[in-house]
Chain A
Amino acid sequence: MATLFHPTAAFSTSHKLHIPSPISVRKGQIFVVRSDARMNNLISRGAHKSQTQRLLTNAVATKADNSSSSKTGHELLLFEALQEGLEEEMERDPRVCVMGEDVGHYGGSYKVTKGLAPKFGDLRVLDTPIAENAFTGMGIGAAMTGLRPVVEGMNMGFLLLAFNQISNNCGMLHYTSGGQFKIPIVIRGPGGVGRQLGAEHSQRLESYFQSIPGIQMVACSTPYNAKGLMKAAIRSENPVILFEHVLLYNLKERIPDEEYVLSLEEAEMVRPGEHVTILTYSRMRYHVMQAAKTLVNKGYDPEVIDIRSLKPFDLYTIGNSVKKTHRVLIVEECMRTGGIGASLTAAITENFNDYLDAPIICLSSQDVPTPYAGTLEEWTVVQPAQIVTAVEQLCQ
């Protein structure tokens, strides 16, 4: 019953890229993009370096850069990318199903599940009553008995009601059952601070969930990584919590036509640099990139990494960066206390203390319930100006 990792059972890859075909034919014909095109004998056996390089350019998320990208692929918005990933996985595996409030007939509050219910039916795209604890538990029970559910929290904050199920059952049952029952569930939803949504709709649950053993957490930030992470999360045998952000759903990007799946455990190199490592995720990536423009004008060369995997951290990508720049700035939307940044600071200090020339600076949101007033709300989250100041301070 031991589930030791077998390298041969990992993603197998092929350098052929083609349209998804039925499951029986498709074994071993997807490819996995590494964050920096590095070869790893476990993952990207045979992947063409040039092709992964080309796709990487598309991963830089600001809209202005699209002019330099290739003309292949198709343009879409982030919520459409999520929907595409979900639809592809549902076509590929009939055990994949969706449950949540208003995911069916309404098409999802953020349109991520639009069109799926008419296509796959009411049982596969299940409109649940407003009972998060129960339907999340139902998803977990379904996962334990052979299905692969995707549970949507209309807002991540609502999943606080499902904490019992997520902590006790989702995270722990694989272990307490001695490995007998696996829980290949995906729990996803939008979180983060929006536009004056008020305190309770603006929560960052990644900090509350991070201690739960047995789960993985990823945060998407671009249409490209949204689709890739959605597919990876659905295919993973582990329970995965996919954090989306309310303000990022309308980002537009050109993504490949070919099928691709990203790695759940890896970070994404957004902008290589030499002077300082900036670690971020989700919406703050855009504040960082905006600050990066200012910083570049001022003569700095920041390296920006979107950590993507909130649990576990990709210490390899992060470590390589720290070893290069010796200065770390973490920019996150979590609260200061007990947030992802706090854990990341601890992890970096533990593993790479010798490489640091300066103490790690962690910019987080203020430890306040997000106020409604627009001005106050702006001051609770990290703004690009603060990022610029922090980098200047680090690089003194």
Chain B
Amino acid sequence: MSLSTPKLAQPLPLHHRSNGSSMSFHTFTPFLGSTHKLRLIAPIKLNAHSKSTAVSVSDAVKDKKPKSAANLLISKEEGLQLYEDMILGRFFEDMCAQMYYRGKMFGFVHLYNGQEAVSTGFIKLLKKEDSVVSTYRDHVHSLSKGVPARAVMSELFGKATGCSRGQGGSMHMFSKEHNVIGGFAFIAEGIPIATGAAFSSKYRREVLKEADCDHVTLAFFGDGTCNNGQFYECLNMAALWKLPIVFVVENNLWAIGMSHLRATSDPQIWKKGPAFGMPGVHVDGMDVLKVREVAKEAIERARRGEGPTLVECETYRFRGHSLADPDELRDPAEKAHYAGRDPISALKKYIIENKLASEQELKAIEKKIDEVIEDAVEFADESPFPARSQLLENVFADPKGFGIGPDGKYRCEDPKFTEGTAHV
């Protein structure tokens, strides 16, 4: 890996179709893994109209000095919305950890602390009809998309009022109402599902002639997933058919204990986009405003029908891979470096320095979220566990699928079936 200084602020040609012609890209330092220092890379702005050139980075994104209100990236309202969403994610996950250690939830619980900028930056730009597909680290994606904290907490407690009726658990958050299509336990298995959701959207527009259908799908996954076959297969298909999808890589540099640098021949994941004919963008995933700018462009691209984008968000998880992970392998210096780049502190600083809101207003938001979380825990505590009768429901959408029993009746007509005691 070469350690040359990054060349910023130069227009970079981005090929949308890779036809064997070489693509130039600026060299930059590899990510912080063991010994290398990480440098911030400014995001590359996508130009939707030109086939092969990219417009240079917008100054407003790079420059964080306070500006007059006209030049700010966000309004007060947006700022508070983003802040609230990130605080919700953070406080929720902290409460999850507490509840886990108190024995209220079990199994594998993967917390999102530190990565809130990616979830908030992307999902807050979506409409209700747009879809989000995530991985096992899905609590905060669900919350950002609008699933009530109560429903997510109940699901974690395994209660019948959970968003998946207690049948999914931490790794399978689903919501039809809010178009959260999982929640997947194996990495990369959600990406084809996301591709399918995007295909549906295109199908509706072109075959079913629903002209206003421009739903976008976001697929979130990590750096470890980017070495998996399904990732590449879907990049190919999405670019081939110009599906309205954005592939969001939450590169937090670690797949449990496997450093991204040790697992990947070329760790620069954003480069893999142009290899398939779609723009590949790298963005600082600890900065919600930068993520939001890139997300805006990528989502609008997809909505216009111009196809997918691969966005690599450099981020970090403050906790271990899961609550069962002792997290002894990561360098404390690395952790300290990223703790200093906490996305919530960064946004707070931006809001206050640019006089978008006062400290009290932010504190009020934190208090409000505290109450929401308390209420969620209380609700989850008081909710009932699933009854036995729930055992056999939902295995099939049409329970005739359990077949015909020896007495000639469909198995699902057996009264024991609704009680959950039938043997199927």
Contact = CB atoms under 8 A, between A and B. Distances in A.
Interface of A: 1-5, 7, 10, 40, 42, 94-95, 97, 121, 123-124, 128-129, 131, 133-147, 164-165, 168-169, 173-184, 213-214, 216, 236-238, 264-266, 309, 311-317, 319, 351-352
Nearest to B231: A134
A246 B163 CA distance: 44
- Ranked 6 nearest A-B pairs via Cβ: A141-B196, A137-B192, A312-B403, A178-B165, A134-B233, A177-B174
B56 interface: no
Given A4-B399, A164-B189, A42 B168 contact: no
Contacts of A123: 202-203, 206-207
B164 A180 contact: yes
B412 interface: yes
Given A5-B400, A133-B192, A146-B200, 4 more contacts: A2-B390, A138-B199, A147-B203, A178-B163
Given A175-B167, A175-B394, A131 B233 contact: yes
A142 B172 contact: no
A213 B402 CA distance: 10
Contact of B403 (A138, A140, A214, A265): A265
Contact of B168 (A137, A177, A311): A177
Interface residues of B, number: 66
B399 A316 contact: no
Give chain B's interface secondary structure class: mixed
Nearest to B235: A134
B410 A5 contact: yes
Interface string B156-182: 000000111111110010111000011
A121 B402 CA distance: 36
Nearest to B169: A176
A142 B196 contact: yes
A184 B200 CA distance: 14
- Please classify the interface of chain A as helix (H, G, I), strand (E, B), loop, or mixed, using the class held by over half of its residues: loop
B258 interface: no
A147 B233 CA distance: 21
B403 A134 contact: no
Contacts of A3: 393-394, 396-399
B406 interface: yes
A173 B184 CA distance: 9
Contacts of B172: 176-177
Given A134-B234, A179-B394, A144 B399 contact: no
Nearest to A235: B398
B200 A145 contact: yes
Nearest to B166: A178
A129 B236 CA distance: 9
A184 B233 CA distance: 23
Contact of B195 (A97, A137, A146, A312): A137
Contact of B194 (A5, A139, A141, A265): A141
Nearest to A215: B401
A174 B169 CA distance: 14
